Amino acid sequence: MIMSQVDLKDAITKGETSLGIEFGSTRIKAVLIDRRFETIASGSYEWENRLKDGYWTYSQEDIITGLQTAYREMKQEVEQKYGVTLRTVGSIGFSAMMHGYMAFDNAGKLLVPFRTWRNATTGPAARELTELFQFNIPERWTIAHLYQAILNEEEHLPRLDYVTTLAGYIHWLLTGNKAIGIGDASGIFPIDEATHNYHPSMVKQFDERIAGKGYPWKLEDVLSKVYLSGEQAGELTEAGARVLDPAGDLQAGIPLCPPEGDAGTGMVATNSVKKRTGNISVGTSVFAMIVLEKELSKVYPEIDMVTTPDGSPVGMVHANNCSSDLNAWVGLFREFSEAMGFGADSGKLFSVLLNKALEADPDGGGLLSYGYLSGENITGIDQGRPLFVRSPESSFTLANFMRTHLFTAFGALKLGMDILTENEHVAIDSILAHGGLFKTPVVGQKILAGALNVPISVMSTAGEGGAWGMALLASYMINKKQEDSLADFLEQQVFQAVEGQEIAPDPADVQGFQAFIKRYQAGLAIEQAAVDHLLENGRG
């Protein structure tokens, strides 16, 4: 039953709410939920990473401005809708893009600009650590960034006091506690499933490997403490409350749950934390998370081994590029429509253009595209060169053009997923998809089902996204029954009445995508040639 306006006002005043704030790659979003897990207010801040001195980064100023703007918008919505000033909430949680490198000295000063997951600059480190640990260490992982800095002999390392992710940084800033949720931690350093902590033998191996450098720290000295979902990981300090709400209305003392990565919040937001379930998150990057019944038979560089927010093993297929190039083309069509004197809003443009893909030839008419704004680890391309290619015989129509760009958004993901399903015979009962692409009904879901040849479901809550998933984790911390696992809490309390729509793969789509993916793999040499012969500024 939906709460009345009076009940909601009372719940807000009493702090019977939970707040989730997620730092995505293009948007920071704040979501306030009630005790029935419904969104009652939200706010957001648009931002973009930038390439600076060879690294993809966001400035510290942007991080704080975005945090404050998203919170302020949410707070203003509370005031407008319910007539109350937000002074407290029941619990808070922060999540963000996983991986990357934020390094601080003992005074809390950022030693180098934030290096995001998007950087493909740690290849030598990732390869060395994978060999050392016999465990796949992707280039995005925090430990790869740290070890690459060591290989590069960067001057900031003797002053290093703390290394964390973006979510860990925000949590530390507002609580003073160096904490990390296990899901986010599993993208920093390998996790031991038995202890739910950093893998001790690998920590020892790392320390032994760098012992000759003479740094005044060991690995565990500079990493966050690992927490499981449901545990309290700190309280909002007075100083933290002023950072979050510079107006001074928000009270200190609010409990915070462990900060998590966007992969973990995606699992929560789609009720995909049980074994044999999976979810696919579609945005600037695309990743599939499959909760495994058993370990994989060997190390695959295309598969990350991470965990759910409660510590279960997950096979993660992460492709660095997904919707950015598609969004850029839609932006070009927007410019055209404005130049013709009939501007269209983004929602309508996306709807019209994406739906054209349903009218296309099954294989996209022989067209080929790579939406690589950055390097792509799964296909071994280390720099970004967005590319569109056709032959004289290709059927160059708008419908085929749009279908090709949807196909290529899932191209690298498909190659990684085939390893799980075909090489490892991983059983998957259900896959739920979420992300902005699915705001246009049917199209993205149908294309993805054809690409992976599995049924794809989209829940009615799919548009809520990771910030809502983070709010659920904050709510779980204060509202769970003692015996409730995270999976039980989600299934029995949150998702019991949530409706979803499943689309099975259409054989024509499956065959069409198979034809496309052969073209995609054969054409990777073209993409590599673009990297080799076209400089990053577009001039060769």
For the residues of 301-363, what is the DSSP string, one character each?
TT-EEEE-TTS-EEEEEEES-SSHHHHHHHHHHHHHHHHTT----HHHHHHHHHHHGGGS-TT
Beta-bridge mates of residue 319: 286
* Secondary element (H or E) of residue 107: none
Per-residue pLDDT, averaged over 148-173, amounts to 98
Instruction: Give pLDDT tens digits for 74-89.
Output: 999 999 999 999 999 9
Indicate left, alpha or beta for 184 from its phi (over 0: left) and psi (-120 to 50: alpha).
Answer: alpha
Given a cut of 80, whether residue 3 has pLDDT beyond it is no
What does the pLDDT look like over 398-409, one tens digit per residue?
999 999 999 999
What gap in Å lies between CA 118 and CA 375, rounded to an integer? 8
> Once rounded to an integer, what is the mean pLDDT over residues 39-67?
95
Q: How many residues does the chain have?
A: 540
Place of tokens 């990743």: 287
For 173-216, the pLDDT digits (tens) are 999 999 999 999 999 999 998 999 999 999 999 999 999 999 99
Q: What is the 3-state secondary structure (H, E, C) of 406-439?
A: HHHHCHHHHHHHHHHHHHCCCCCCEEEEEEHHHH
pLDDT band at 151 (very low <50, low <70, confident <90, very high): very high
User: pLDDT value at position 428?
Assistant: 86
List pLDDT tens digits, range 375-388.
998 999 989 999 99
Task: Provide Rg for the chain, Cα atoms.
Answer: 23
**Average of pLDDT values for 113-124?**
92
Q: What is the 3-state secondary structure (H, E, C) of 165-177?
A: CHHHHHHHHHHCC
Burial call 361-389: b when 16+ CB within 10 Å, e when fewer: bbbbbbbbbbbbbbbbbbbebebbbbbeb
Let me know: does 309 contact 506? Beta carbons within 8 Å: no
216-238 tens-digit pLDDT: 999 999 999 999 999 999 999 99
Structure token digits, residue 383: 């720099």
Output the average pLDDT for the chain.
Answer: 94
Q: Give the pLDDT score at 538.
A: 58
Residue by residue, DSSP assigns 145-203 as: HHHHHHHTT-TTGGG--EEE-HHHHHHHHHHS--EEEHHHHTTTS-EETTTTEE-HHHH
Contact (CB, 8 A) for 520 and 368: yes
State residue 9's pLDDT score.
93
Q: Helix (H, G, I), strand (E, B), or coil: what is residue 55?
A: strand
Question: 3-class DSSP state for residue 467?
Answer: helix
Encode pLDDT of 309-362 as tens digits.
999 999 999 899 999 999 999 999 999 999 999 878 888 899 999 999 999 999
What does the pLDDT read at residue 323?
92
pLDDT band at 539 (very low <50, low <70, confident <90, very high): low
Query: What average pLDDT does this structure show over 160-165?
Result: 98
The pLDDT of residue 177: 98
Write out the CATH class of domain 5-261. Answer: alpha beta
Query: Does the structure show a pLDDT above 80 at 520?
Result: yes
pLDDT of residue 315: 94
pLDDT > 90: what percent of the chain? 82
Residue range(s) in the chain whose domain bears CATH number 3.30.420.40: 5-261
Give the residue-averaged pLDDT of 245-254: 98
Gap between the Cα atoms of 135 and 162, Å rounded: 24
What's the pTM? 0.82
